Structure 1
Amino acid sequence: MKKHLIAGLLVWLPLAITVWVLLWFVGLLDGVFGGLASAAQAVLPAGAESTIEALRKIPGLGVLVMALLLLLTGMFVTNIVGQWWLRQWNRLLHQIPIVKSIYSSVKQVSDTLFSSSGQAFREAVLVQYPRQGSWTIAFVTGRPGGEVARHLDAETHLSIYVPTTPNPTSGFFLMLPRAEVVPLAMSVDEALKYIISMGVVAPPPATAPALATERN
């Protein structure tokens, strides 16, 4: 009985978690769409309220609308006119107290993480943490900068993010000598699977490459 229950759980658990994540994502986008619809009701004529309410009840419409909005926004900000408006928008937000602190911090982090030319979270490595002889997988986020770079040689040190298990969104930020960081050939996706599964889902072995930051 126990063996059959576990076998059934292994079949349904991945599917249930996948459906739950998809429903959460759809609900999130529908919530954002609902907020935009509520804002539209406040500015549009009274006769349009029934139409907006009918649109809000269509399941999944928020996903399509938000995807279209992101696509149009991306197309707009990649041309000269859009770049000018984006600079004006950033300048406006940087002049609002409190808002400028939050917005500038989030924008700086997001620009660093999602930049196609950046090295943040582009490479998985092996480091000794939290003590010598104890190893864990981490991700290279760059090199020490600012005031820290005056105390630590940026050419011989790396900035490392050590995620926790099974939730990799929390973790620890370390700056280690390059010589103490072992590069891994596994991709970031494979490393995340290895971390989240607590070592159960291991990627196939491969020859470790040189650190990407050494090639720059």
Structure 2
Amino acid sequence: MRKYFLTGLLVLVPIATTIWVLNFIIGTLDQSLVLLPEAWRPQSLVGFDIPGVGAILTLAIVFLTGLLTNNLVGNYVVRQWDKLLTRIPVVSSLYTSVKQVSDTLFSSSGNAFRKAVLIPYPHEHSRTIAFLTGTPGGDAANHLEGEWVSVYVPTTPNPTSGFFLMMEKSRVVELDMSVDVALKYIVSMGVVAPEPATPAGIVIAKE
């Protein structure tokens, strides 16, 4: 019975977790329905709520926003909006900080999370996977001798929290591993190990 129970868990836990995450995401995105007039909402049109309509609406808003701002008129409106928000006390610091982070993470020209690296952490005799985020800036850079880099060390199994470190470049090893594979490795707590890298020029034949 124990064997059958564990087998059932191995099958159902990934399915249940996936359904729960999707339900949470869709439920959150469905909150965008408040932007529609009450007469246009599914509850008023068909008499009951339709899961996913808000998610589709959110995706449409994001797409249309990108489409409209990708021209001269849209860019002008965005610039004026930025100027307005940066002149409002309190709102200015919050908006500027969030905008800088989002520009770094989502911009196609950004360098955030572009490389997975191996660093000594939390002590000299252990190693962990981190992500290269850039180079130290501000006054901190004036107090660092030699070449240093900025890295983000995610926690397991939740990579959205972690630690920001500045390390000597010579102590950071770039890995032949994509960011997606590295994240999967971290989230799985090392259970889902990536395939070993193949040296250049060597091809492993599969039967």
- Give TM-score, length-normalised by structure 1: 0.86
Partner SS state of residue 120, structure 1: coil
- Aligned-pair distance for 1:149? 1.7
Aligned counterpart for 2:56 among listed residues 64, 84, 90? 64
Task: Give me the CA root mean square deviation.
Answer: 1.8
Segments of 4+ in structure 1 off by > 4 A? none
Partner SS state of residue 176, structure 1: strand
Residue equivalent to 1:214: none
Residue equivalent to 1:78: 70
2:44 counterpart of 1:54: yes
Aligned counterpart for 1:129 among listed residues 118, 121, 135? 121
Identity of aligned residues (%): 56
CA distance in 2, matches of 1:207, 1:117: 29
- Aligned-pair distance for 1:33? 2.4
**Residue pairs, 1:90-105, within 5 angstroms:** 90-105=82-97
Deviates more, 1:135-144 or 1:52-61: 52-61
Instruction: Tell me: CA distance 1:14–1:90, structure 2 relative to 1, closer, same or farther (3 Å).
Output: same
CA distance in 1, matches of 2:119, 2:27: 38
CA distance in 1, matches of 2:87, 2:105: 25
- Give TM-score, length-normalised by structure 2: 0.89
- Aligned-pair distance for 1:5? 1.0
* Letter of the structure 2 residue corresponding to residue 19 of structure 1: I
Residue equivalent to 1:213: none
CA distance in 2, matches of 1:50, 1:33: 11
Aligned counterpart for 2:196 among listed residues 205, 209, 212? 205
* Letter of the structure 1 residue corresponding to residue 141 of structure 2: A
- Aligned-pair distance for 1:207? 5.6
Residue equivalent to 2:180: 189
Q: Which ranges of structure 2 fall in alignment gaps of 5 or more residues?
A: 201-207
How many pairs align? Answer: 197
CA distance in 2, matches of 1:157, 1:79: 39
Q: Which ranges of structure 1 fall in alignment gaps of 5 or more residues?
A: 41-48, 210-216
Residue equivalent to 1:7: 7
* Letter of the structure 1 residue corresponding to residue 62 of structure 2: L
CA distance in 2, matches of 1:167, 1:117: 26
2:134 counterpart of 1:161: no
CA distance in 2, matches of 1:116, 1:10: 38
* Letter of the structure 1 residue corresponding to residue 49 of structure 2: K
* Letter of the structure 1 residue corresponding to residue 97 of structure 2: S
More helix by share: 1
Residues 183, 208 of structure 1: 8 Å contact kept: no
CA distance in 2, matches of 1:33, 1:103: 24
CA distance in 2, matches of 1:33, 1:51: 9
CA distance in 2, matches of 1:207, 1:183: 15
CA distance in 2, matches of 1:79, 1:164: 40
Partner SS state of residue 113, structure 2: coil
Partner SS state of residue 123, structure 2: coil
- Aligned-pair distance for 1:156? 1.1
CA distance in 2, matches of 1:51, 1:103: 32
Residue equivalent to 2:110: 118
Residues 184, 208 of structure 1: 8 Å contact kept: no
Residues 27, 51 of structure 2: 8 Å contact kept: no
Residues 159, 187 of structure 2: 8 Å contact kept: yes
CA distance in 1, matches of 2:199, 2:111: 17
* Letter of the structure 2 residue corresponding to residue 147 of structure 1: D
